[in-house]
Amino acid sequence: MKHSILVTGGAGFMGSHLVDQLIREGHDVTVVDNLSGGSLSNVNRNAHFIRGDLQDAKVCRKAVSGVDMVYHLAAHAAEGQSIFCPVYNAKSNYIGFLQLIEAAINSGVKMFVHTSSMSVYGRQEKMPMREEQHYNPKDPYAVGKAAIEQILPIYHDVFGLNYSILIPHNVYGERQNLQDPYRNAIAIFMNRVAAGKPPIIFGDGTQTRAFTYVRDCTPYIAKAGFAREAFGERINIGSEEVVTLNEVARIVLEEMARTDLKPIYAPPRPSEVKHSYCSSEKARRILDYKTTTPLKVGIHNMAEWVKKQGPQKFRYWKNLEITKKAPEVWTKRMQ
């Protein structure tokens, strides 16, 4: 059955892959995006595009008009940076979400798929992290994501809005914003290497993560809007191939054919969680989730794309809201 679907953040990295998928499946798709992190060139030609910010009630009303499903991906997603721009982050992500949900309830949207973040778990004793573990967010971005997760069941109980919460982690791949110096280690490493410079690692590089190739992620976000078993659930989604950042840097250098470069090390980032990866067991059960792309293959594919793009200039903020303890890499605007 054909649905009329809104994808917020559909000009961004994951949102644009999701839009392509939903259009391939035959749905009528509208994208709303303020282009703060995304790009018009990412937007599928067959989608309707609204340029606007979710903080604007009028934009939200227009975006949800005639829509029966919403996939909410818009966010200022620079987690580490959010410590240093808490007000901007809260307005963009939390207030933006509240404006959207208000409009969605008022216009009779039936299904709301939210992309949350593994950051809501923060620092945990037990690894890999599972859905039943408690919230322990360690930065304003994560606090905002956890707040949104807790609003959705309230609106379900009061207004009957169906929802599903997907919790992806460390997604990488083609169309990632290479100009963003604040997030996505693989993209930042690659962009520097493309410019002939070594990757910079915060800390000693023994942090562990599991990186998820974008094509192994967005099809399941799409599916969550239609799978009844996913309704009312929080579901981790992503690779379970755990690696250190040192290993990731090594693979990036290999796949970018620059093994002559050696990573350089900067002081650890304030409040960065050392070990962070999830179990996708629930996603396998509910969404028939499969990771099909090994890290080396995904990085190879992305490296081919990055080489075509060529090195991009990192775009730093003119003013962080707080500069105390901000990483020097950022305050010195290292390219």
Active site residues: 141
Beta-carbon contacts of residue 120 (< 8 Å; ≥ 6 apart):
135, 137, 142, 145, 146, 149, 167
The Cα–Cα gap between 111 and 114 comes to: 10
Cβ closer to ligand NAD: 32 or 249?
A: 32
Candidates 27-35, 229-237, 261-269, 287-295; binding stretch for ligand NAD (CB under 6 A): 27-35
Count of residues in contact with ligand NAD, rule CB under 6 A: 29
CA atoms within 13 A on the CB side of 196: 0
Using only C-alpha atoms, what is the Rg of the chain? Answer: 19
Q: Which 168-207 residues touch ligand NAD, going by CB under 6 A?
A: 168-171, 177
Binding of residue 75 to ligand NAD (CB under 6 A) = yes
Smallest distance, Å, CB 228 to ligand NAD? 23
Find the binder of ligand NAD among 43, 64, 85, 96 (CB under 6 A). 96
Q: What distance in Å separates the CA atoms of residue 334 and residue 181, rounded to the nearest whole number?
A: 9
Among 22, 54, 224, 253, binds ligand NAD (CB under 6 A): 54
Is 234 near ligand NAD (CB under 6 A)? no
Query: Among residues 6, 21, 30, 34, which is the contact residue for ligand NAD, using CB under 6 A?
Result: 34
Which CB, 162 or 170, lies closer to ligand NAD? 170
- Binding of residue 74 to ligand NAD (CB under 6 A): yes
115 is a site residue for ligand NAD (CB under 6 A): yes
- Sheet containing strand 4-8, strands side by side: 48-51, 28-33, 4-8, 69-72, 111-115, 162-168, 234-237
Does the protein bind ligand NAD through residue 80 (CB under 6 A)?
Answer: no
Q: Interface mask (CB under 6 A) for ligand NAD, residues 246-265, using x and -?
A: --------------------
CB of 34 to ligand NAD, least distance (A): 4
5, 6, 7, 14: which one binds ligand NAD (CB under 6 A): 14
Q: Which residues bind ligand NAD (CB under 6 A)?
A: 9, 11-15, 33-38, 53-55, 73-77, 92, 96, 115, 117, 168-171, 177
